[in-house]
Amino acid sequence: MPTKIEKDSLSGQNTTGHEWDGLKELNTPLPKWWLWTFYATIAFALVWVVIYPALPIPGATGTSGWIAREAVVRDVQQAEARMAPMMSRLRAATPQQIAADPELRAFAMAGGRGAFANNCASCHGAGGQGALGGFPSLADDEWIWGGSLEAIHHTITHGVRANESDDQRQSMMPRFLADGILTRPQVNDVAEHVLSFTNRATDQAAAGRGAALFAENCVACHGEKGEGNRDLGAPRLSDQVWLYGADKASIVQSISNARAGVMPSWGKRLDPAIINMLTVYVHSLGGGE
Ligand code: HEC
Ligand code: HEC
């Protein structure tokens, strides 16, 4: 309820004229120091708007001509110029030479870690630990295509089944059920035989029948005892490491419809120096040979 403005007898201040249930509001003035600070910030902001590009208008620059985007570009160019000599050494060296030279190696490890986070972690995990669904761990001793510096360099440069490079890693497991090579009971038998490599067969008779089917259809790629073959990118089936799942259903699925993991090729996307750094970095993750 607005009432009339009056002097408060206790504090000597005017009231605002507002009153609630008999309570009146004092109109205490703002402290002087606060008010002047406030005016100072307004004055500062006006000067800022004139000097710096503060208005949200495309192309607007202040009187100083300073633009954040140009400043960043300049900083990046300076950083690149500082790194250029090192980058050209990393480009010219082989991964072996980089790994053997402490200075190059330290630089490659730092750069490789950053490049891995940017380009590879989305599929292989932040620490290269891999992910179920066909994304192999790069930090263990199990390699589909090989864990030497040369093999890793080749895989990164040319990719796997991405059809982006003539030198890509390539091999196709047949779709045994989908293409009618095996019947459903035969797929079951051969899956039991695969499980028997890790002593997990649930049906010994089926696993026994599967042995002949395995010898006929699978040995050429996966080896007699399921030890795998790196030339063909056929993974080992006799250990605990599974790309697509260790359970019988996943194995039946792999045999029925086959798997064909795709890894992009990086040879045309990344600087050769970066590929060398990535090679040394991945090799160091734990499984390098
Ligand atoms: C789009 C997902 C994807 C990205 C991104 C990716 N990879 Fe891969 N990578 C794969 C898949 C899938 C495989 C397994 C291919 C196969 O089944 O043979 C693989 C395989 C590999 C292998 C071979 C592993 C072995 O056991 O032989 C290496 C090494 C590798 N990747 C390194 C990298 C590096 C380094 C990068 C980043 C520059 C990268 N990958 C980015 C999906 C990816
Ligand atoms: C032409 C070669 C080839 C033949 C023949 C072949 N495979 Fe494969 N197999 C592969 C390749 C290559 C992969 C890996 C695919 C990938 O990396 O995405 C694979 C993957 C698998 C996997 C998945 C492994 C995992 O870690 O998840 C299983 C299980 C498997 N094969 C079983 C068999 C069985 C059983 C047979 C015979 C009935 C067979 N394969 C025949 C090449 C072959």
Q: How many CB atoms lie within 10 A of CB 253?
A: 17
Q: Which residues does the chain have with pLDDT short of 50?
A: none
Give the relative orientation of helices 272-283 and 102-119 as an angle to the nearest 10 degrees. Answer: 100
Q: Do both 96 and 152 map to the same domain? A: yes
Find tokens 């199990």 and name the residue: 142
CA distance linking residue 229 with residue 6, whole number of Å: 96
Q: Do both 192 and 227 map to the same domain? A: yes
Domain at 194, CATH number: 1.10.760.10
Q: Do both 164 and 196 map to the same domain? A: no
Q: Do both 78 and 139 map to the same domain? A: yes
Best residue among 254, 262, 263 to mutate for probing ligand 2, ranked by most atoms within 8 Å of CB: 254
Counting ligands in written order, the one closest to the CA of 139 is 1
pTM: 0.81
The verdict on residue 15 lying in a domain is no
For residue 123, report the distance from its CA to the centre of ligand 1, in Å: 7
Q: Do both 75 and 164 map to the same domain? A: yes
Give the relative orientation of helices 248-257 and 184-196 as an angle to the nearest 10 degrees. Answer: 130
Predicted local distance difference test score (pLDDT) of residue 278: 97
Q: Do both 148 and 234 map to the same domain? A: no
Q: Do both 139 and 203 map to the same domain? A: no
Predicted confidence (pLDDT) per residue in 43-91, tens digit: 999 999 999 888 888 777 888 888 888 899 999 999 999 999 999 999 9
The verdict on residue 2 lying in a domain is no
Best residue among 119, 263, 276 to mutate for probing ligand 1, ranked by most atoms within 8 Å of CB: 263
Atom index in ligand 1 nearest the CA of residue 275 equals 38
List the domain range (segments joined by +) for residue 122. 71-168+263-283
CA distance linking residue 152 with residue 155, whole number of Å: 5
Q: Do both 252 and 277 map to the same domain? A: no
The verdict on residue 225 lying in a domain is yes
Predicted confidence (pLDDT) per residue in 247-283, tens digit: 999 999 999 999 999 999 999 999 999 999 999 999 9
Q: Do both 140 and 195 map to the same domain? A: no
Q: Do both 216 and 272 map to the same domain? A: no
Q: Compute the half-sphere exposure of residue 152: CA atoms within 13 Å on the CB side of its CA.
A: 27
Q: Do both 219 and 104 map to the same domain? A: no
Predicted local distance difference test score (pLDDT) of residue 172: 92
The verdict on residue 253 lying in a domain is yes
Counting ligands in written order, the one closest to the CA of 244 is 2
Residue-level length of the chain? 289
Count the domains in the chain. 2
The verdict on residue 51 lying in a domain is no
Beta carbons within 8 Å of 203's beta carbon, 6+ residues apart: 192
Backbone angles phi, psi at 273, to 5 degrees: -65, -40
Predicted local distance difference test score (pLDDT) of residue 100: 96
Residue 220 in tokens: 């050429």
| Residue minimizing CA distance to atom 34 of ligand 1 | 120
Long-range contacts of 193-201 (CB under 8 A, 24+ apart): 194/226, 194/237, 194/251, 194/255, 195/248, 195/251, 197/225, 197/226, 197/237, 197/238, 198/238, 198/239, 198/240, 198/246
